[in-house]
Amino acid sequence: MSSPDASLARPPARFPYAVDGVAAALALGGSLALALTLDLAWVAVLVLAVALTGLGVGSCWRGAVAVIAAVVGWLTGFALFLAEAGRITSAQRSSWALSGLALLAAAGVAVLTRARSERERAETDRAIERAQDVAVHDALTGLTNRRGLALLGGQILESARRRGDAVYCIFVDVDGLSRVNEELGHSAGDDVLLTVAEGLRRSTRATDAVARWGDDEFVVVGPGTGLAPLEMERRIRAHCVEHTSIDRRIWQARVSAGGSVLEPWDDGTVDTMLRLAGREMHLRRALRREAGAPAYRPTRLEQSPQRPHPRHPGGWQG
């Protein structure tokens, strides 16, 4: 699941059709005036209209309307001038030729300017998309990060409540990651995190949001009651055992998980579920460590074969 961050989106352009509209109006008005008066001064209006299209935004086809109208207007004016004049002098031919070249030059500059503007706009849009992706995704694992989970988790909770469904949360902590980093280096630690992240992907549904919450912590939020934390631990451990070659004496491919469920009638937020799931995760890990610790046996002094001398209770009889 993914959701764009509205705070990074490009603001909508104001009056996106205004420049093209003005250019088209000038081209049509100048063409009509040129056809009626046959005055080459109106060609300047056509050149201005074509030049304005280079400042427009959006599809180039909108700007093409003004360019086509200006070119057709110039050709129409030239044809009408030939029909009325009969014969054309070299000076008149040069004037019309220069005006036509000016119009074509303006059209070429406008097309290049518009194409460059569109290319820069597309690059900006791609940069915004990359920024959005970085803003809501973890760079190492590709999972959603805290910011992304805040967006997706709220959507999942709201949607589930509209349907009258529960929402679950599982908090996962990678046990022993610090030892892997210390003894094998951070690259080995990154491999562990990537393997755990992939195990989480394979153990969840497409409707679940899987996020990296901290250095060695992951969170799953989804509709329904979800997997039991013990089953999530089992699946991730099985995946890690199969897909990592790290010495088990350094990392036992073990994670600790805790869960919480928010029923439709319960008050609470995603933060509430996170807090409860994190509390259960820490409790389960503490109980596991306590169960795996050796039983406490107080250290005793070795018994002497002789009893203390009654007159020397503080020492031993020689």
Beta-carbon count within 10 A of 134 CB: 12
Structure tokens at 185: 């280096």
User: Is residue 175 one of the residues assigned to a domain?
Assistant: yes
Show which of 75, 107, 135 is a domain's final residue.
Answer: 135
User: Is residue 7 one of the residues assigned to a domain?
Assistant: no
275 pLDDT more than 90 = yes
What is the predicted pLDDT for the residue at 4? Answer: 43
User: Is residue 61 one of the residues assigned to a domain?
Assistant: yes
105 pLDDT more than 50 = yes
Do 82 and 43 lie in one domain? The reply is: yes
User: Is residue 312 one of the residues assigned to a domain?
Assistant: no
Do 172 and 281 lie in one domain? The reply is: yes
Of the candidate ranges 58-67, 69-78, 155-164, 261-270, the one whose mean pLDDT is the lowest = 58-67
Do 196 and 218 lie in one domain? The reply is: yes
Do 56 and 193 lie in one domain? The reply is: no
Do 246 and 130 lie in one domain? The reply is: no
Which residues touch 225 (CB under 8 Å, ≥6 apart)? Answer: 166, 168, 261
User: Is residue 208 one of the residues assigned to a domain?
Assistant: yes
Do 152 and 270 lie in one domain? The reply is: yes
51 pLDDT tier (thresholds 50, 70, 90) = confident
Do 69 and 169 lie in one domain? The reply is: no
Show which of 135, 161, 184 is a domain's final residue.
Answer: 135
Do 211 and 87 lie in one domain? The reply is: no
DSSP per residue over 176-198, as a string? THHHHHHHH-HHHHHHHHHHHHH
User: Is residue 199 one of the residues assigned to a domain?
Assistant: yes
127 pLDDT tier (thresholds 50, 70, 90) = low
Do 161 and 223 lie in one domain? The reply is: yes
Do 177 and 247 lie in one domain? The reply is: yes
Domain count of the fold of the chain: 2
State the CATH number of the domain containing residue 264.
Answer: 3.30.70.270
Beta-carbon count within 10 A of 247 CB: 12
Of the candidate ranges 74-88, 209-223, 257-271, the one whose mean pLDDT is the lowest = 74-88
Show which of 100, 135, 170 is a domain's final residue.
Answer: 135
The string of pLDDT tens digits covering residues 168-216 is 999 999 999 999 999 999 999 999 999 999 999 999 998 899 999 988 9
Mapping DSSP to helix (H, G, I), strand (E, B) and coil, where does residue 170 land? strand
C-alpha torsion sign, points 192, 195, 200, 201: positive
Do 129 and 150 lie in one domain? The reply is: no
Give the range of the structural domain holding residue 161, as residue numbers without chain letter.
146-292
Highest averaged pLDDT of the listed ranges 68-77, 122-131, 134-143, 212-221 = 212-221
Do 28 and 104 lie in one domain? The reply is: yes
User: Is residue 314 one of the residues assigned to a domain?
Assistant: no
Instruction: Return the axis-axis angle of helices 60-85 and 43-53, rounded to nearest 10°.
Output: 170
User: Is residue 229 one of the residues assigned to a domain?
Assistant: yes
What is the predicted pLDDT for the residue at 299? Answer: 47
